[in-house]
Copies of this chain bind each other. A is one copy, B any other.
């Protein structure tokens, strides 16, 4: 369920923060996968949407969103090639690329279709992305393959650890600066420099970046609270679970990993949190059950009582449900379909 007032406040806060710094905001919709929320983000002034996969792009394109960035290096062979061509005919499509081979495959796949690319550079997260100094080589290959090179992007995912966001934001700026230099040297000046994640969004270097792509900020989650990115009052999405077993200060709730997802970074205090019992810890998570230990001076919820759980990673939790119950001032007022649930391909 989503508290619509908290959601609205989260959307407005990020919009204002980006505007005040002259940064374009291109929210990542993999978090909510929900047309209603994406519409509100665009109405508030988002520059476009960021998506994770071709199938996620297809859902948002079919709903009328016209400016989409697939923020990963897509390998454009076989059916993927045909789908990218169809998307490029329909919307303004931008795609990530991080290798000469990938750029050539993408260029062949699109066969003159109008697609622009951003070169992904690795600013310290060490997942995908070329070294920033190599951005020019990939960009030249992309241009050679018939693609339009718009600039570079990075994901400072190494911000996900207590005390790490500030350094990750500095790494992000350095990586994009270096990439912009490499692009300029290869004949691509005035490029887009896109970064951002929720933990670094407020820390992004506005003199280097032109765009940020946070996703989680719309809902927030236990992980963001534990990272210090937000407080409990900023968590818009929670799951409702019932106490089904109880013994002393230990209760079992009927919500588990098939409701919340199983994400648990090593630094997390547990497998999710209970916003109404901030001292409680989820010590075990089975498919349909969370085992919770309450502090010795806490009240213990009764058998049958409904308790709110904030998942560790809200993007994973949303992708497990078919719809969101919209709550306004404590009452359910609407249902939103999670239109892009399960769009992995």
Q: Which residues of B contact A53 (CB under 8 A)?
A: 288
Closest B residue to A259 by beta carbon equals: B344
Tell me which residues across on chain B come within 8 A of A321, comparing CB atoms. Answer: 342, 344
Given A99-B245, A304-B75, A320-B320, A262-B259 contact (CB < 8 Å): no
Contact A244 B319, CB 8 Å, known A127-B291, A284-B127, A344-B258: no
Determine how many copies of this chain the complex contains.
2
Most buried by B among A72, A102, A129, A315: A72
A214 within 8 A of B: no
CA distance A304 to B105 in the complex (A): 9
Give the A interface residue count (CB, 8 A): 50
**What are some 6 contacts across the A-B interface (CB < 8 A)?**
A73-B244, A75-B243, A101-B303, A128-B245, A262-B262, A287-B315
A residues touching B (Cβ–Cβ < 8 Å)?
30, 52-53, 72-75, 77, 98-99, 101-102, 105, 126-129, 157, 242-246, 252, 254-255, 257-259, 261-264, 284, 286-289, 291, 303-304, 313, 315-316, 319-322, 342, 344
Q: Are A244 and B284 in contact (CB under 8 A)?
A: no
Q: Which residues of B are found within 8 Å of A30, using beta-carbon distances?
A: 287
Give the distance in Å from the alpha carbon of A313 to the alpha carbon of B342 in the complex. 18
Smallest Cβ distance from A133 to chain B, in angstroms?
A: 14
Give Cα A99 to B105, complex, Å. 61
* CB–CB B286/A127 < 8 A: yes
